[in-house]
Chain A
Amino acid sequence: MIEIDKLSKVFKGSSHDVQAVDQISLQIKKGEIFGVIGYSGAGKSTFIRLINRLEEPTAGTVSIDGQNITTLDKKALRLSRQEIGMIFQHFNLLWSRTVRENIAFPLEIAGLAKNERNERVNQLISLVGLSGKEDAYPSQLSGGQKQRVGIARALANNPKVLLCDEATSALDPETTDSILSLLIDINEKLGLTIILITHEMHVIQKICHNVAVMENGKIVEQGSVLDVFSHPQQPVTKKFVEQVMGKPDQDVSDEPFVQGIESGRVLKLQFVGETTNQALISRVAKQYEVELNIIQGNIKQTQAGAYGALYLHITGEDQVIDQAISFIRSTSVEVEVIDHD
């Protein structure tokens, strides 16, 4: 529903020009949470601001639901901006207005009558979990609460898209999680398309369906979050995946503990987007006469299920172990038997 075609932005400088966004083309489906990740200066903010034309593109087009945003005149652009919500790293609330008045602001802009505004604001306040804070001023709120006001405000006019520019970067990890859960909740409840940019891979891991990696104004890699996690191609992408998964497997077979194992076998279970085999380990332990010992593991939950690897030490009769392994292989979890001799 969002089509971005060869979008570019050059900032003219006195000494040299900066190509902040370089020929980006993307398609984002309705109802999807699309993440853009990149290091500072990669051009993420410029990119997201081109979508609602807070920054005028130098070349290329953006179209939302078939409407070409890039050619709209001023008035039409204002109207279509009412259908594009945006939230910001520093919340950008009006400090002279209460929570209620801040959320009502986009409704005033859209020209809603006062009683309709009140009704809508009440709905939004309970949607984002701010009941009881209606009459507080932004200065009396915590960062997480301010961002909730920002989200309610962005949703006020029932937008088609929500743009998030580093929406959690000013928040502590716990508050970040609660805001991310709220975004997932909104995405599911309202079927809202969300584009979010971040420099934190765990934000992508937790809530995005698809991701694009940006470097020097270009998109260097994109795909589903699981694909990018399991097969990162570019060095930048590998670094971002390491942020969450740690260094790729140091060879477990070299570990003294594994070397000291005399009986049984060491297995590596690879989970890629598991949603159905969450209770796998306990099923194996119940059904087969084997002892299972978890050596190490690193599993993260993504929007498409669990991702990561788990190392097990399995002991028992050889035959039974073989049966257990073939049982695990019959699920979608991959098994690798690791040598330790």
Chain B
Amino acid sequence: MTKLFPNVNWFALLEATGETFYMTLFALLGTLIIGIVLGLLLYLTTPGGLWENRLINFIIAALVNVFRAIPFIILILLLIPFTNILLGTFRGPNAALPALIVGSAPFYGRLVEIALREVDKGVIEAAKAMGAKTSTIIFKVLLRESIPALVSGLTVTAIAIIGYTAVAGAIGAGGLGDYAYFHGFTRRDFDIVFACTVLIVLIVFIFQFIGDRITNKLDKR
């Protein structure tokens, strides 16, 4: 191993992997919450929806589209002043979280909206006919019936987030991207870049595997 990767500091590599996991998981959590709220609002306020409201629908759709249009590297730079105020620094894994969440929540929000649209209208109608409140319809019908799609959307989003953490790493967020760029690329130690690549690919596979397993288990269709 040491022959293949002469320049790799195994402890640093382990630490970077931990940071990548840390950023991915916490960004995923924030993305999940904000994405579901955005997706629900998009779905519910759509014309003909349960809370039909053209204005709110337009505003949220516009926000989502704008933030999805901004390339991630630019988004990080744009958010630096904000992150500075929030955390007092723009370096390290925590500082990457706002940008990661702002970058991926609109994307996940769209996936949530698509998942909710897939819920059979007839089932929603049946719940209405039973006298269900809108909140019951949201939690017990819409979200519940779309869980497999929500999870598989989350898997796709998680993989995008892993990619984003690497980009964030290149401006000092920590994690494998940081290690690969500052310790590997800038010193021309390509064995480090290669080791980081292998680990990132592995992490992606792990997320994909877990996501697929959960989706299959929950899908009763």
A interface residues (Cβ-Cβ under 8 A, vs B): 52, 54, 77-82, 84, 86, 88, 90, 92-96, 105-106, 108-110, 137-139, 153, 157, 163
The residue that B131 contacts in the complex, of A81, A90, A94, with Cβ under 8 A, is: A81
Q: Is the CB of A86 within 8 A of B129?
A: yes
Nearest opposing residue in chain B for A90, CB measure: B122
Q: Which residues of B contact A79 (CB under 8 A)?
A: 131
**How far apart are B203's CB and chain A's nearest CB, in angstroms?**
30
**How far apart are B93's CB and chain A's nearest CB, in angstroms?**
36
> Bound state CA distance, A54 and B123, in angstroms?
13
Q: Is the CB of A94 within 8 A of B123?
A: yes
> Bound state CA distance, A79 and B130, in angstroms?
9
Interface size class of B (residues with CB under 8 A): 20 to 34
> Bound state CA distance, A138 and B221, in angstroms?
8
Nearest opposing residue in chain A for B124, CB measure: A92
Nearest opposing residue in chain A for B121, CB measure: A92
**How far apart are B108's CB and chain A's nearest CB, in angstroms?**
21
**14 residue pairs A–B, Cβ–Cβ below 8 Å:** A78-B131, A78-B132, A79-B131, A86-B126, A86-B129, A88-B122, A94-B145, A95-B145, A105-B127, A106-B130, A109-B132, A109-B133, A137-B220, A153-B130
**How far apart are A196's CB and chain B's nearest CB, in angstroms?**
15
Total A-B pairs, Cβ < 8 A = 65
Q: Is the CB of B129 within 8 A of A52?
A: yes
Q: Is the CB of B130 within 8 A of A109?
A: yes
A sample of 13 more A-B contacts (CB under 8 A), given A94-B123, A138-B220, A157-B130, is: A54-B125, A78-B133, A81-B129, A81-B130, A82-B130, A92-B123, A94-B145, A95-B145, A96-B147, A96-B220, A109-B132, A109-B136, A137-B220
The residue that B220 contacts in the complex, of A81, A88, A95, with Cβ under 8 A, is: A95
> Bound state CA distance, A94 and B142, in angstroms?
10
Q: Is the CB of A108 within 8 A of B129?
A: no
Q: Which residues of A contact B123 (CB under 8 A)?
A: 92-94
Q: Is the CB of B128 within 8 A of A94?
A: no
> Bound state CA distance, A52 and B126, in angstroms?
11
> Bound state CA distance, A11 and B145, in angstroms?
30
Those 5 A-B pairs whose CB atoms lie nearest each other, nearest first? A81-B131, A92-B122, A92-B126, A82-B131, A78-B131
Q: Is the CB of B126 within 8 A of A109?
A: no
> Bound state CA distance, A96 and B123, in angstroms?
11
The residue that B221 contacts in the complex, of A82, A109, A139, A157, with Cβ under 8 A, is: A139
**How far apart are A339's CB and chain B's nearest CB, in angstroms?**
57
Q: Is the CB of A95 within 8 A of B221?
A: yes
Q: Which residues of B contact A82 (CB under 8 A)?
A: 130-131
Q: Is B141 in the interface zone, CB < 8 Å from A?
A: yes
Q: Which residues of A contact B129 (CB under 8 A)?
A: 52, 54, 81, 84, 86, 163
**How far apart are B206's CB and chain A's nearest CB, in angstroms?**
26
Q: Is B140 in the interface zone, CB < 8 Å from A?
A: yes
Interface centre among A84, A95, A96, A153 (most CB of B within 10 A): A96
Q: Which residues of A contact B126 (CB under 8 A)?
A: 86, 88, 92-93, 153
Q: Is the CB of B125 within 8 A of A109?
A: no
Interface centre among A78, A84, A139 (most CB of B within 10 A): A78
Nearest opposing residue in chain A for B133, CB measure: A78
**How far apart are B220's CB and chain A's nearest CB, in angstroms?**
4
**How far apart are A284's CB and chain B's nearest CB, in angstroms?**
52
Q: Is the CB of B125 within 8 A of A108?
A: no
Q: Is B144 in the interface zone, CB < 8 Å from A?
A: yes
Q: Which residues of B contact A81 (CB under 8 A)?
A: 128-131
Interface centre among B122, B129, B132, B133 (most CB of A within 10 A): B129
Q: Which residues of A contact B141 (CB under 8 A)?
A: 94
Which parts of B91-138 form the interface with A (CB within 8 Å)?
120, 122-123, 125-133, 136
Q: Which residues of B contact A110 (CB under 8 A)?
A: 131
Q: Which residues of B contact A157 (CB under 8 A)?
A: 130
Nearest opposing residue in chain B for A79, CB measure: B131
> Bound state CA distance, A139 and B131, in angstroms?
25
**How far apart are B118's CB and chain A's nearest CB, in angstroms?**
11
**How far apart are A53's CB and chain B's nearest CB, in angstroms?**
9
**How far apart are A80's CB and chain B's nearest CB, in angstroms?**
8
Nearest opposing residue in chain B for A80, CB measure: B131
**How far apart are A107's CB and chain B's nearest CB, in angstroms?**
9
